[in-house]
């Protein structure tokens, strides 16, 4: 059974960089896309971007090039960096696996709340 | 960006009822649509992909249909565990976008 687990600071100061890691267990990164989705408190879901196991990311252009997703196959994990954060970036951040067909996400992490505040 | 509009935003129903949720795309997306169920404090759970394919392990009372711009999720006989928020997601073009959600509440 594939499991995903997000990790990273729960509090980030405005203008700094948010950094999260998603560790995958029970399966390898191979042959899948791996993504990040966020959800502001009480609001809907926003796709941040995803990356194929061997590279080639795609991002939501609404983030204005602030997001970088990378993959480390040797450690079976992938990461998100979001620069120049503001309070609007406060959200629960989820990592997820694209199912391999259909371009939808079949395995999700439990989510981690990141608050941007001074 | 493709805008996804769900209706209704909320619905009240009873156990055993049949419920239909609609998702409309601002432009044609073929059948690149997924449905998710989310319970409070939990990650979304994939129910349906490519508009009508049932994800492994999801009960058959969940059915998806539609193509192009109009899609529906039907729950044929509501069970207590089905009360949750439902989201549609398009995957035809970047950025992937979600509907605003439909909250299914107990009447």
Mean pLDDT computed over A69-87: 97
φ and ψ at B61, to 5 degrees?
-70, -15
Chain B nearest-CA residue for A62? B95
Does the pLDDT of residue A104 top 90, yes or no?
Answer: yes
Q: Residue A13: in which H helix or E strand, if any?
A: none
Chain B nearest-CA residue for A111? B43
Q: What is the pLDDT at residue A64? A: 82
* Closest residue to A104, CB basis, from B42, B89, B99: B89
Q: What is the pLDDT at residue A10? A: 96
Q: What is the pLDDT at residue A66? A: 97
CA A22 to chain B, closest CA, distance in angstroms equals 14
Q: What is the pLDDT at residue A31? A: 87
Beta strands in chain B (DSSP E): 4-7, 10-13, 19-25, 33-38, 45-49, 53-54, 62-67, 70-75, 85-90, 97-98, 102-106
φ and ψ at B82, to 5 degrees?
-85, -10
Tens of pLDDT along B4-57? Answer: 999 999 999 999 999 999 999 999 999 999 999 999 999 999 999 999 999 999
Tens of pLDDT along A31-64? Answer: 899 999 999 999 999 999 999 988 889 999 999 8
């Amino acid at each position: 059974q594939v499991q995903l687990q997000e990790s990273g600071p729960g509090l980030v100061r405005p203008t700094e960089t948010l950094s999260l890691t998603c560790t995958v267990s029970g399966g390898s990164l191979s042959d899948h896309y791996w993504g990040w989705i966020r959800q502001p408190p009480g609001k809907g879901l926003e796709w941040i971007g995803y990356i194929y196991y061997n590279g080639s990311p795609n991002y939501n252009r609404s983030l204005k090039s602030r997001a970088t997703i990378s993959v480390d196959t040797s450690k079976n994990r992938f990461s998100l960096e979001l620069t120049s954060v503001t309070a609007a970036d406060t959200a629960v951040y989820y990592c997820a696996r694209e199912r391999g067909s259909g371009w939808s996400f079949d395995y999700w992490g439990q989510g981690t709340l990141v608050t941007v505040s001074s | 960006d493709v805008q996804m509009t769900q209706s209704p935003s909320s619905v009240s129903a009873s156990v055993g009822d049949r419920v239909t949720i609609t998702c409309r795309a601002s432009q044609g997306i073929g059948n690149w649509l997924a449905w998710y169920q989310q319970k409070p404090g939990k990650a979304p759970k994939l129910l349906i992909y490519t508009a009508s394919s049932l994800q492994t392990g999801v009960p058959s009372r969940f059915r998806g249909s539609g193509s192009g711009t109009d899609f529906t999720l039907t729950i044929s006989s509501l069970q207590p565990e089905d009360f949750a928020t439902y989201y549609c997601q398009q995957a035809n073009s970047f950025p992937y976008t979600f509907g605003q959600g439909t909250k299914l509440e107990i009447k």
